[in-house]
Structure 1
């Protein structure tokens, strides 16, 4: 059974709805979540906020947070997830922002991806250094990691 199908089953069981806020993955998590039949039971919406302006306008990320920490940061991921969850009225939101490549810098290398998972009473933040695997591999790894975070959040609440 795919991760998305497991999420669908667990979310139905707990009557949870899910939303996504994605940057470097460009909607890959939302696409995975809506792949299994019946996904409309649990998936509320997904938003791709690739630019900083979109993060501010659509998710309510503070410009001051972007200025202080940059788009690839746990602080921005947290505001993305919280903004998405509130706007969608969902129980769980996952947010992803990172540097899929090519490129990056010494301070923010290629393959660094920041994640946030928000629920009404939890905010979980983490940064994963996938390394310079290449753009496609980093994006796929980030998608799969985000799906794993959602599944963990759903099954921990059982």
Structure 2
């Protein structure tokens, strides 16, 4: 896992943390990912990529690896602010399509939140884990 993280950290990686009273209460990070690496990551078929491209266009992919906020600090806009800053970084680096992995059933907090801001499922894992990949264009994203 550490090697995967190190290989993903590039000049256009975006990482933000939220701190309250000296404690990290939220974080997010993401990075550029090639279409080939996305395909290989989950062994998906090309049809899933075609669906994503149909919805989102041919732009560069920003894989939004992680987003988390401590439970006691949720519903305060922290996730929204962190994601907004991360998306600004992505757009400045020419990344146009946001892709996230989350759990659909039962729907995770992350799944519900991303669905509310316009992300759509374009791939369901075949391993019975209920994990999905969701995508949307980053331009025009409002929280």
The answer to whether TM tops 0.5 is no
Higher strand fraction (1 or 2): 2
